[in-house]
Amino acid sequence: MNELLSQLIELQAIDMEIDRIDQAIKAEQNGLDERITALAKREALINELQEKIVAQQKETRNLEGDMADRMDHVRDRQSKMMQVQTGREQTALLKEIEDAKKSAKENEEKVVALMESIEQLTARVAEEKNLLKGEKELVAEETEKVRVSIEEINKGKRDKDQRRGEQAAKIKSGTLRKYDTLRQRRNGLAVVNVVDGVCQGCFMAIPPQLFNQLLRGDQLFECPTCQRMIFYQRPAEDKN
């Protein structure tokens, strides 16, 4: 195999290892980010529940104030009863008293329902806060674990980066630029083998004439479809 080709293949092998390392770092970070997002969601839920409680407490106070006003009105009408003369006036007052009592009772039922709801919401908030506390502790532990893990991964990466630099230095800058551009544009694969006349980068057949040229020597050609650098490596059984 020609030297340039084997150097490019070696470089690509190192680059793919570095890619795997970067992906491993990303995966660690993503897992942690998901947990942090879950924390923020629970915090938002707790705030929402607390706002609901405050609103229902306010409604309860309003209803209680309204109820007191109505009972004052009932007492006032009851004292008026002594002063009225006609049956018609009495009937009107009695109706007023009954209406006021009725709406006071309705208010009371609403207040009871609100108090029950506030009690349930308060219990839910306590439960959510407890879960949040546990999750926060876990996330703190996880953050530390991820930090250590990424640090460990990065140690291995420094070694690979150095090897990458050494390997890249062996290759002409024009070829290296082409290789780097191809890797960026072609999903990390710049140099590919051709098997049975098919480019292993884009899996398109290459023209027979080009394949014959490839078969003749260890030359570096370009795939007409994906422009990757292609080479031909004899299958393992042919080597014997």
Integer-rounded Cα Rg, in Å, for the chain is 40
- Please identify, using beta-carbon distances, which residue of 53 and 202 lies nearer to Zn ion: 202
Site size for Zn ion (CB under 5 A): 6
By CB under 5 A, tell whether 191 contacts Zn ion: no
Smallest gap, in angstroms, from Cβ of residue 223 to Zn ion? 3
Q: Using CA atoms, how far apart are residues 205 and 201, in angstroms rounded to an integer?
A: 11
Cα–Cα–Cα angle for 164, 165, 166, nearest 5°? 90
* Host H or E run for residue 60: helix 3-81
Binding Zn ion (rule: CB under 5 A), the pick from 202, 211, 214, 232 is 202
Binding Zn ion (rule: CB under 5 A), the pick from 199, 211, 231, 232 is 199
Residue 86 DSSP code? S
Q: Using CA atoms, how far apart are residues 177 and 115, in angstroms rounded to an integer?
A: 72
Smallest gap, in angstroms, from Cβ of residue 218 to Zn ion? 18
- Please identify, using beta-carbon distances, which residue of 53 and 199 lies nearer to Zn ion: 199
By CB under 5 A, tell whether 182 contacts Zn ion: no
By CB under 5 A, tell whether 201 contacts Zn ion: yes
Q: Determine the interface stretch with Zn ion among 23-31, 71-79, 102-110, 193-201 (rule: CB under 5 A).
A: 193-201
Q: Please, what sign has the CA dihedral across residues 157, 159, 163, 166?
A: positive
Q: Determine the interface stretch with Zn ion among 102-110, 134-142, 144-152, 194-202 (rule: CB under 5 A).
A: 194-202
End-to-end Cα separation, the chain, in angstroms:
16
What residues line the site for Zn ion (CB under 5 A)? 199, 201-202, 223, 225-226
